[in-house]
Structure 1
Amino acid sequence: MASYVIGDVQGCYAELMQLIDKIQFNPDSDKLIFTGDLVNRGPQSLEVLRFVKSLGKSAKVVLGNHDLYLLAIAYGYLPTAKKDTLNPILEAEDKNELIQWLRQQLFLYSHKKHLITHAGIPPIWSLKKAKRLGLELEFVLQTDMCFQLFMSNLFGNEPDLWQDNLEAVNRWRCIANYFTRMRLCDQNGRLDFSFKGELNNKPDHLDAWFNIPNAKIDAKYTLVFGHWAALNGVSNNPRCIAIDTGCVWGGKLSAYCIDTQEIHQVDAINLIKEIE
C-alpha cells in the first residue's frame, strides 16, 4: 500500500506509463498523487487526463497553473496560444467529462504528514489557513457563477500579497497565484512572478518560498511541490521536496514514495526547448 507523489506530467503520457511500470503501481492498493500541470506543452495531454481520471480513488490531483489555463480555454475565456498542445482535449468527444472532472480537483492534499500542492504554501500562511483557502477556491471552481467570474479574470500578477480582507476575484486570484504560480517572495510573502530560473541566480532581496521560515506549519509535515523545473528536484530543505524535474523540457519524470522517501525517475523521451 504505497503512496507516490508524481511531478508535473505536462502531457508526457509515454513517460508516465514508464514510471507507473517502474514503481509497479497497483491501483487496488497504491495511491498516486499528482502535483498538477497534468497538461500542456507535451504531446499527449488528452491521454494523461483520461488515464488519471480512470484511476478513480487511486489518484489524487492538486491543480497547477496549466490546468487552470485549460479550464479557461475550454470555457472560452482565453484563446489557445501557438505553443499550447491542448487541441486534442478541446476536440475530444469526452471533453466535457474531462473538464468537469478537472473542476472537481484539489489545491492542497494532506496525506501521511505530507502536504502536496502545485507550487507550495506561502510562509505567511498557517496550515489551517492554507487548507481553508484551498477549500474556498475549490468551491469557486465547482460553483458555476463563481467559476465564470473567476475564469474571466484568471490571470494577473495583482494582488501580489495576501491580505485577509481581499474579496471576490482579487481574493481568488491571489489564492490561486500562491498555490499554482509561486516561486520567489520576500520576507513578508509578497510574490515575484518574473523569475523562473535556478535559485543561485535569484535577486538578492527575494528568496524561494521554502527558504523563508514558517513556524506556523508544524515541523512534522513535509511539503511536496512541483512547478519549478529549474530546481531540478533540489530544494536543499529536507522538509520541502521539489518533484518537478522537467520531463517536458528533456529532464526526467519523478515519483516520490511517501512511505520510503525514495525518488523514482524515468528519462524524458521528447524535448521541448523553452523552460517555464
Structure 2
Amino acid sequence: MAHYFVGDIQGCYDELMRLLDKVKFDPTQDVLCPVGDLVARGPASEKVAKLMLELGHAVEPVLGNHDLHLLSIYAGLFKDKKNDKLKKLVQSPMVSDYAKWLRTQPLIRYYPEFNIIVSHAGTHPFVPLETQMELADQARQKLASKDYKIWLERMYGNEPRKWRSHLTEEEAFRFIVNTTTRMRFIDDDGALDFETKQPPSQAPLNLSPWFELKPKTTTPTPIHVFGHWAALLGKTDDSNFIGLDTGCVWGNKLTIYKAETKEFFVQQSLP
C-alpha cells in the first residue's frame, strides 16, 4: 500500500492519468491524496470528477478554493464563468453525486504514520494546530449538512484576517476556510493577506509566506503538504513544507509525492 499526494489537478485529466501510470497506482491497494483544486481552469474537469467518484475509498482529498467555488455554483450562488471551464461538469448528470461527495471532504487531513498534515493552502503558524483541526472538522460538518447552502453563502469575505478566541461561529468558519484554502502570505501582525500572489522574493517587506513563520511550540513540527501556490513551483527551502502545486494547468507540471519512499514524480503539462 502506498500514499500518493498529488498537487492541484484542476481538470488536467490526461496528465493525472499518465502520472498514475508512471507510479503504477493500484486503487485496490494504494491511496491517492489530492491537495485540493481537483477541478476548474483545466480542459477536463468532468473526467477528473468521474474518476474521483470511481476511486471510492482509494481517494482522500482535501477541499481547495476551486472545489468550494464549484459547490457554490452547484448551489446556485454563482454562474460558472468561461475561464472556470466547468460547463461540462455543471451540466453533467453526475454533478449531484459529485457535489454530494465533495461536501463530505475535509479541509485538513492528518496522516499520523507519516506525521503529515495536508491542507490546500496551509495552516496558520500562530494558531494551535489542534484548534485548526477542530475548526476544520466543524466546517466539514456544516458543509455536509442540509444547511450547506447557507454556510457556502456565509463563507465569502476576507474578515476576520486574524484568529481570536471570541469569534462568532460564522467568523470562525470563514477564518478556517480562508486559512486552509486561500492563504499565502501573513503580515507582521499575524493577519492573512489575500492580495499578494507573486513569489516570496517579490512580496512587500511586511509579508511573509505562512510556511516561513515558525510556531512557538516545543512539539515536533509535522510535515505540511499543500498546494494552491503555483508561483512557488513547489519550492519552500524547508523539507518540512512540501508544496505540490507546480502549475500543470498553467503549462508547467503535475507532481506526486509518495509518502512511503519520500519520492517525487512529475508529468509535464500536455499541449
State the TM bucket, normalised to the shorter chain: over 0.9
Deviation at 1:240, TM superposition (A): 0.4
Residue pair 2:4, 2:258 contacting (<8 A) in 1 also? yes
Residue pair 1:125, 1:216 contacting (<8 A) in 2 also? no
Match of 1:155 in 2: 156
| Root-mean-square deviation over aligned CA pairs | 1.3
Residue pair 1:195, 1:202 contacting (<8 A) in 2 also? yes
Structure 2 gaps, min length 5: none
Match of 2:259 in 1: 258
TM (normalized to structure 1)?
Answer: 0.94
TM (normalized to structure 2)?
Answer: 0.96
Q: Distance in 2 between the 1:175 and 1:13 partners? A: 29
Corresponding residue pairs, total: 269
Percent identity between matched residues is 37
1:1-276 aligned within 5 A: 1-111=1-111, 112-145=114-147, 147-216=148-217, 218-219=219-220, 221-270=222-271
Q: Give runs of ≥4 in structure 1 deviating > 4 Å.
A: none
Q: Distance in 1 between the 2:139 and 2:223 partners? A: 23
Residue pair 2:127, 2:163 contacting (<8 A) in 1 also? no
Residue pair 1:126, 1:216 contacting (<8 A) in 2 also? no
Structure 1 gaps, min length 5: 271-276
Deviation at 1:220, TM superposition (A): 5.0
Deviation at 1:235, TM superposition (A): 0.5
Residue pair 1:3, 1:32 contacting (<8 A) in 2 also? yes
Residue pair 1:2, 1:31 contacting (<8 A) in 2 also? yes
Q: Distance in 2 between the 1:268 and 1:234 partners? A: 18
Q: Give the SS at the match of 2:51.
A: helix
Amino acid at match of 1:91: Q
Mean alpha-carbon deviation: is it higher for 64-73 or for 161-170? 161-170
Deviation at 1:187, TM superposition (A): 4.1
Deviation at 1:62, TM superposition (A): 0.2
Amino acid at match of 1:259: E
Mean alpha-carbon deviation: is it higher for 209-218 or for 83-92? 209-218
Q: Distance in 1 between the 2:16 and 2:218 partners? A: 32
